[in-house]
């Protein structure tokens, strides 16, 4: 096949059997470097604690080496926390990349569109009124919380899309409506915290800042299952994103059923964000910042999905590491991501004032 085609500069092919694609070395390199860093940071994070374990021993334990005590500490006690952070970060990174791609707007992310906020509100309602001891144990916590978060996020997404829809969606209006819906969600959350029992309110407050504290395998499983289903779905659907980036009319002329396609991918992003929120609370800014940084690292014209998932995981686990070690008090991870991410949001808003499209 290769011999007959005329080379198009900048698009070297990779072909095997029926598969074909463009070889993009920078994308692959950046992604692999991200995976390497992620493994390293995850190992350091697992190693930190009352019984410090070296990076080498952590990695050894993960692949079945090391002594039994070490393996127990690594696999049973510490891995779930880091793994939850990793999976949640990956889900948020990918959700953000998809949201920004389908809205063609670098400011669009599940957090800014109110999806994460509404998912949080629904989850707080479950914690406050639902299940006795709330987040940490109970069937309701494991099943009810993700479902409530998903429903809350879905409601917000429908509201935002519906209110912003006027013969097609203009992305500026989408973000403005999203900010409004988010404000309502935050207000309802505050009200819930005021009327809830004091203990549950405290629990909900910690959860609301996005915390990886006390995660066990029960927190890992739902988000792992969700990712296993949603990441391949998202990647398969992402095939149409190149056409969609050229505008709704051109995409439609290229054979994409624009509205249906956007809703399908939007649901994938929404579910990823809601499941992540249910597992670790609304960890802010990861979904907003990571896809934009990845796009700059990789080059190209759209946020890369897989790379965003890898760096989302890297940012979340790194933030957890910083929260646990570099600061005097052990802080929830969401505070660190907010401190790192907020300046970037300001930077994006500042750029907009210099004439860059919102």
Partner 1 sequence: MTDDPREPAGVRLRTEQLRLGYGDAVVIDGLDLDVLDGTVTAVIGPNGCGKSTLLRALSRLLPARAGHVLLDGRRIDRYPTREVAKVLGVLPQTPVAPDGLTVADLVSRGRHPHQAWYRQWSGDDEQAVAEALRWTGMSEFAERTVDTLSGGQRQRVWISMALAQGTDILLLDEPTTFLDLAHQVDVLDLVERLHREMGRTVVMVLHDLNLAARYAERLIAMRDGQIVADGSPKDVLTAELLRTVFDLEAQVIDDPVAGTPMVVPIGRRHRSTAADQ
Which of residues 209 and 295 has its CB atom nearest to partner 1 in the complex?
Answer: 295
Q: How far is the CB of 52 from partner 1 (least distance, A)?
A: 44
Q: Which of 240, 312, 332, 334 binds partner 1 (CB under 8 A)?
A: 240
Pull the structure tokens for residue 185.
């969600």
- Locate 299 and state its tokens: 């080059």
User: What minimum distance in Å lies between the beta carbon of 315 and partner 1?
Assistant: 22
355 binds partner 1 (CB under 8 A): no
Q: Mapping DSSP to helix (H, G, I), strand (E, B) and coil, where does residue 22 land?
A: strand
Q: Using the rule CB under 8 A, which residue among 169, 256, 288, 321 binds partner 1? A: 256
Closest by alpha carbon to 181, among 205, 204, 157? 157
Site size toward partner 1 (CB under 8 A) is 44
Residue 356 DSSP label: -
Taking CB under 8 A as the criterion, the residue among 190, 202, 250, 325 binding partner 1 is 250
Please report whether residue 52 would count as binding partner 1 according to CB under 8 A.
no
Q: What distance, in Å, lies between the first and last C-alpha atoms of the chain?
A: 43
Task: Give min distance, CB of 239 to partner 1, in A.
Answer: 4
Binding flag, residue 236, partner 1 (CB under 8 A): yes
SS in 3 state form for 258-316?
Answer: HHHHHHHHHHHHHHHHHHHHHHHCCCCCHHHHHHHHHHHHHCCCCCCHHHHHHHHHHHH
Alpha helices in 6-65 (DSSP H): 25-47, 55-62
Please pick, from the candidates 6, 63, 198, 326, the single residue that binds partner 1 as defined by CB under 8 A.
Answer: 6
Q: Is 170 in the site for partner 1 (CB under 8 A)?
A: no
Our CB check for partner 1 shows the closer of 167 and 354 to be: 167
Which residues fall within 8 angstroms of residue 169, CB to CB, at 6 or more apart? 103, 161
Which listed residue (53, 80, 88, 104) binds partner 1 by CB under 8 A? 104
Pairwise CA distance, residues 239 & 52, whole Å: 45
Q: Taking the complex as a whole, how short is the minimal distance between the CB of residue 9 and partner 1, in angstroms?
A: 4
| Residue nearer to partner 1 on the CB measure, 254 or 346 | 254
Residues 286, 316 contacting (CB under 8 angstroms): yes
302 binds partner 1 (CB under 8 A): yes
Contact 287, 52 (CB under 8 A): no
Binder of partner 1 out of 173, 221, 252, 264 (CB under 8 A):
252
The residues of the shown chain that bind partner 1, judged by CB under 8 A, are 1-2, 4-11, 13-15, 18-22, 104, 167, 235-240, 242-243, 245-247, 249-250, 252-257, 295, 299-302
């Amino acid at each position: 096949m290769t011999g007959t085609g005329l080379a198009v500069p900048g698009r070297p092919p990779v072909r095997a059997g029926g598969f074909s694609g463009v070889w993009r070395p920078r994308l692959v390199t950046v992604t692999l470097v991200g995976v390497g860093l992620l493994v390293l940071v995850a190992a350091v994070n697992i190693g930190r604690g009352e019984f410090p374990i070296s990076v080498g021993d952590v990695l050894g334990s993960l692949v079945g080496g090391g002594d039994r005590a070490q393996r127990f500490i690594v696999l049973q006690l510490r891995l779930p926390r880091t793994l939850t952070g990793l999976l949640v970060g990956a889900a948020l990174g990918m959700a953000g990349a998809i949201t920004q791609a389908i809205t063609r707007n670098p400011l669009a992310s599940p957090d800014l569109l109110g999806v994460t906020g509404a998912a949080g509100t629904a989850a707080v309602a479950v914690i406050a009124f639902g299940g006795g001891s709330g987040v940490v144990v109970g069937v309701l916590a494991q099943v009810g919380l993700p479902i409530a978060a998903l429903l809350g996020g879905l409601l917000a997404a429908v509201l935002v899309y519906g209110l912003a829809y006027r013969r097609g969606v203009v992305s500026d209006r989408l973000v403005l409506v999203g900010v409004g819906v988010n404000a309502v969600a935050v207000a309802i959350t505050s009200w819930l915290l005021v009327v809830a029992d004091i203990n549950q309110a405290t629990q909900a407050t910690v959860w609301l800042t996005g915390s990886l504290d006390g995660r066990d395998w029960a927190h890992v499983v739902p988000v792992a299952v969700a990712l296993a289903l949603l990441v391949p779905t998202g990647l398969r659907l992402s095939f149409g994103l190149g056409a969609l980036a050229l505008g709704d009319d051109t995409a439609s002329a290229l054979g994409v059923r624009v509205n249906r396609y956007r809703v399908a991918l939007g649901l994938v992003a929404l579910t990823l964000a809601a499941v992540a929120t249910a597992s670790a609370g609304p960890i802010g800014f990861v979904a907003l910042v990571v896809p934009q940084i990845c796009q700059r690292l990789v080059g190209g014209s759209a946020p890369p999905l897989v790379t965003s998932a890898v760096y989302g995981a890297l940012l979340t686990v790194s933030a957890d590491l910083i929260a646990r070690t570099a600061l005097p008090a052990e802080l929830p991870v969401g505070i660190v991501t907010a401190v790192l991410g907020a300046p970037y949001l300001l930077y994006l808003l500042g750029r907009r004032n210099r004439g860059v499209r919102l």
